[in-house]
Chains A and B, each alone.
Chain A
């Protein structure tokens, strides 16, 4: 018996796991949501709706197929709906109405003039998923769609392979939905992401290995137990949730498109879905004009997609070595599609070093008041590199996608920030400190 089987047995009282048969829903009849059918992204073979994301014909990835004749809402109709990601439900892979995770999405789009000046571009907007509900990362979007698919398929145990943010979100949203959760993460994840997962009461498993090894294990787990692993066998439905970030950007800009988007890349799914989302909005006539140039950001210590962009080559997997652990995926499953989005849009890529990433976190915080996790530092530092290289232009209106909260990765910046001084509760000590910090006060400053 493997360590995982032992862990499962200890949680299930030694019951044998099911192999591929899926558990029946405990609350049948509650949900009115129905996932759409799928098709292979490579060979285009059709596949029925179900908890499988692999094409049986060629083993390529499946994606949902939308009815091209479905009724689409107008701008006004969308604007009249609640401020959640479900206001764009016609572009999400379901018929009917969602049954769980109803509150995620619609994070702020912040004007960032000081950061624009730093980068030397006309305007910067920060899409701030660092305050996403409920777990402060963009993964709340994809988990919302994945869990609705899981429930529609009668699955009552969900899970994920995660670099942290996804673990947080699956644990939280599964807890609220009353689903069991098995969550797999690399052993050395940041403390905030471990605690931010275990607090919700899932079965959290720390695996001795990097994310790619965790990911492989999870593929085998999904195959063996029939659980709904959101980024494995529910991936087709999961990934579409990312498009809502693009929809929000377009709506929040006043139903128009920016000229450039910079976004972090791990498995490569987000940039692909942002590109797809804006294309769908343009096809629906909700926005017009040229699609933005998409720029992908990775850490220098794990940059398989950026390496391929720069070398104009195919993706070669790498062994990750970076503080940006949420992006530390050396074998990006959607890398080829990310490359297509970047190349077809006229974008590029950049891979800043770890010190640049920390500087990027601080730059965003000090100019915009947003504390991003390491992935956000990668995005800002990449934008700085792209601007210095002339890839981002002075006339550009740039959206930076900030996908996670800095409170989850305080280890990354802790050693880079000055120690806060400690004083006695006496005014004369404070006066001395102020004078040491900014010189003697002028009479006009003192009451």
Chain B
């Protein structure tokens, strides 16, 4: 399965200045692992030391907040769009 991962500017710098990256995996966690393998500096920005998502870095798969979809266990299908958003906004 291949998904398109859209990164904010602050993370794109760690992925060869690409704001949109293809990554493979059948779950979001696998997609993040694929990204981390190819762009090692992204890893510690996307998941904590236990391999879990940070509370302040939010992932959306096809506009759905993955915190309601099983987190890193959220399934990924071919052509899915993943958006990464730092959770600093609100109010």
- In B41-60, which residues have CB < 8 Å from any A CB? 45, 54-58, 60
Q: Is B86 an interface position by the 8 A CB rule?
A: yes
Q: Contacts A53-B88, A269-B91 known; A223 to B63 CB distance under 8 Å?
A: no
Q: Is A231 an interface position by the 8 A CB rule?
A: yes
Chain A residues with Cβ under 8 A from B90's Cβ? 161, 215, 231, 266-269, 329, 331-334
Q: Is B85 an interface position by the 8 A CB rule?
A: yes
Do the beta carbons of A232 and B89 come within 8 Å of each other? yes
Contact residues of A: prevailing secondary structure: loop
A68 to B60: give the CA distance in the assembly, Å: 40
Q: Is B30 an interface position by the 8 A CB rule?
A: no
Q: Contacts A59-B57, A317-B67 known; A219 to B91 CB distance under 8 Å?
A: no
Q: Is B8 an interface position by the 8 A CB rule?
A: yes
- Report B6-44 CB contacts with A as 1/0, cut-off 8 Å: 101111000000000000000000000000000000000
A220 to B60: give the CA distance in the assembly, Å: 12
Do the beta carbons of B91 and A266 come within 8 Å of each other? yes
Do the beta carbons of B67 and A219 come within 8 Å of each other? no
A268 to B10: give the CA distance in the assembly, Å: 24
Do the beta carbons of A229 and B91 come within 8 Å of each other? no
Q: Is A270 an interface position by the 8 A CB rule?
A: yes
- In A322-337, which residues have CB < 8 Å from any B CB? 329, 331-334, 336
A60 to B60: give the CA distance in the assembly, Å: 18
Q: How far is the CB of B10 from chain A (nearest CB, A)?
A: 5
A235 to B88: give the CA distance in the assembly, Å: 8
Q: How far is the CB of A75 from chain B (nearest CB, A)?
A: 31
Q: Is A300 an interface position by the 8 A CB rule?
A: no
Q: How far is the CB of A13 from chain B (nearest CB, A)?
A: 25
- Report B54-85 CB contacts with A as 1/0, cut-off 8 Å: 11111010010101100000000000000101
Q: Is A212 an interface position by the 8 A CB rule?
A: yes
Chain A residues with Cβ under 8 A from B85's Cβ? 216, 219-220
A20 to B13: give the CA distance in the assembly, Å: 13
Do the beta carbons of A232 and B58 come within 8 Å of each other? no
- In A253-276, which residues have CB < 8 Å from any B CB? 266-270
Q: Is A404 an interface position by the 8 A CB rule?
A: no
Chain B residues with Cβ under 8 A from A216's Cβ? 58, 60, 83, 85
Chain B residues with Cβ under 8 A from A215's Cβ? 89-90
Q: How far is the CB of B12 from chain A (nearest CB, A)?
A: 9
- Report A4-29 CB contacts with B as 1/0, cut-off 8 Å: 00000000000000001000000000
Q: Knowing that A53-B88, A232-B89 touch, tell me 13 more A-B residue pairs with CB under 8 angstroms.
A: A20-B9, A161-B89, A166-B91, A219-B86, A220-B6, A220-B85, A229-B89, A231-B91, A266-B90, A267-B90, A269-B91, A315-B55, A333-B87
B residues adjacent to A (C-beta < 8 A): 6, 8-11, 45, 54-58, 60, 63, 65, 67-68, 83, 85-91
